[in-house]
Amino acid sequence: GKGIAVFTSGGDSQGMNAAVRAVVRMSIYLGCKVYFIKEGYQGMVDGGANIVEAVWSSVSSIIHLGGTTIGSARCKDFRERAGRLKAAKNLIGRGITNLVVIGGDGSLTGANLFRQEWGSLLDELLKNGEITAEQRNKYKILNIAGLVGSIDNDFCGTDMTIGTDSALHRIIEATDAIISTAYSHQRTFIMEVMGRHCGYLSVVSALTTEADFVFCPESPPPENWETRLCKKLDQERMAGQRLNIIIVAEGAIDRHGEPITAGQVKKVIEDNLQQDTRITVLGHVQRGGSPSAFDRILGCRMGAEAVMALMEADENTEPCVISLDGNQAIRLPLMDCVKRTQAVAKAMADKQWEDAVELRGKS
C-alpha cells in the first residue's frame, strides 16, 4: 500500500484529533502504512522520532479532546529550501509520498509549494548522494490532500472549517454566563472574540446571544457609529432591558481601516451614557475545550475523504482540499481555494468590503 503521513500545522482547533484519527484508521483499513508527523512542518524537517508509524490504537481516546495530540507549530525552517530538502529526505527515507495536511491557508500553501518543488528537491538529494536513483524514480510524485482546521471559518471553498462550531459553543456559553451577572448589576458587557480578519465568529455569536451591537471586519460601521451605538443601547434600557451585550471581533475596523477596539467602545459608552461597563476578552478559551459533535463528525468525514482522494491520485492529480458543501465532503483544487482566500484578504486590505464578502461566498 501507499505511504501516507498526517500532520497538523499552524494554530490548533477543536476537531483536529477527529480528523487525524479518521486519516489513520481509513489508511490502515485500506492497507496503507500511515505515519504521524509530530509538531507540524518542524517535525517533518527534524525527522527522527517526530515521524512515527501509527497503528489502529494510536488514535484511540482522542476524538473527544480539543487541540491536536500530535502537536502543531509555526515553522520557519520549512520556509527555506534547505528545510524543505531535509523534509523531503525524511519522507523518502520512510517511503512517504502522500501527505494529509491539516491547517490554515498558510500551511496549505506551503504544502502546495513543496509539491511543486518535489522533483527538483529529489534531484538535489540524488546529486548529493542522499537518495538512490531507484528511490528517485520510485517516489517521484508527492500527492497532497488538505483539510482546513481553524476556528476562524476564513477559508474559501468550504462552508465550515474544523473548529469553528466548537469555538462558537465556547463563545455562547461564556456570553450566557456573562449575561447572568450583567443582569444582576444592570451592566453593559463588551465581549471581544477571535476570528482574525474574518467576522464569522462575531456575527454568528451576536445573532445567537441576542447581542445589541456587533463590530466585525467585513462591515465597518458608518462614520457616526458612536451616536448610533449609544442611541441603541439607550433605547434598549428605556424599553426595560437590564443589560447590554456588544460583540467586538478582534479584527473589527472602522471605514478608514483603523482598528475598533473593545477599549474604545467602552470609552464611548462611559463618556456618553451612565452605564456600568466591563470588557471580557475571551482569547484562547475559544480554541480550547472539547470539540462539538459537528466538529467531530466534520473531522471524521474530511479525514476519510482525504485518504480516499490520495488513494485515487496519480501523477496528474493536483493537490486538493476537502471541503464541506452542504452536507457533502467534496474535493476542490487546493490552489483555487487558496487564491480565492488571498483575494479576500486583498479586498479587505483595499477596503473593498462588499467584494470581500462576495468572494468569500458561502463560507
Count of residues that bind ligand F6P according to CB under 6 A: 9
Residue 192 contacts ligand F6P per CB under 6 A: no
> How many residues belong to the chain?
363
Residue of 11, 146, 149, 291 interacting with ligand F6P (CB under 6 A):
11
64 is in an annotated binding site: no
Residue of 20, 131, 142, 151 interacting with ligand F6P (CB under 6 A):
151
| CB nearer to ligand F6P: pick between 92 and 201 | 201
CB of 302 to ligand F6P, least distance (A): 18
Contact pattern for ligand F6P over residues 266 through 305, marking x by CB under 6 A: ---------------------x------------------
Q: Report the alpha-carbon angle 287-72-309, nearest 5.
A: 95
Q: CA-CA distance, 345 to 124, in Å (whole number)?
A: 35
Of 55-63, 149-157, 305-313, 351-359, the window that binds ligand F6P (rule: CB under 6 A) is 149-157
Of 36-44, 56-64, 190-198, 299-307, the window that binds ligand F6P (rule: CB under 6 A) is 190-198
Residue 43 contacts ligand F6P per CB under 6 A: no
H helix runs in the chain, sequence order: 16-29, 40-46, 81-93, 105-127, 133-138, 164-185, 200-209, 225-238, 262-272, 293-312, 334-349, 353-360
152 is in an annotated binding site: yes
CB 289 within 8 A of CB 151: no
Residue 100 contacts ligand F6P per CB under 6 A: no
Q: CA-CA distance, 161 to 158, in Å (whole number)?
A: 7
CB of 11 to ligand F6P, least distance (A): 4
R_g over Cα of the chain: 23
CB of 74 to ligand F6P, least distance (A): 7
Cell 471524521 found at: 300
Of all residues in the shown chain, the one whose CB is closest to ligand F6P is 194
320-325 and 328-333 beta bridge pairing: antiparallel
| CB nearer to ligand F6P: pick between 125 and 151 | 151
Q: Is 39 left (phi over 0), alpha (psi -120 to 50) or beta?
A: left
74 is in an annotated binding site: yes
H/E stretch holding 9: none
C-alpha cell at 11: 494554530
Task: Tell whether the torsion through CA atoms of 40, 42, 85 and 91 is positive or negative.
Answer: negative
C-alpha cell at 113: 509549494
Residue 21 contacts ligand F6P per CB under 6 A: no
Question: Annotated catalytic sites, by residue?
Answer: 152
Binding residues: 11, 74-75, 104-107, 150-152, 187, 194-196, 250, 278, 284-287
Which residues of this protein are in contact with ligand F6P, per CB under 6 A? Answer: 11, 150-152, 194-196, 250, 287
Binding residues for Mg(2+): 105
Residue ranges at the known binding site for substrate: 150-152, 187, 194-196, 250, 278, 284-287
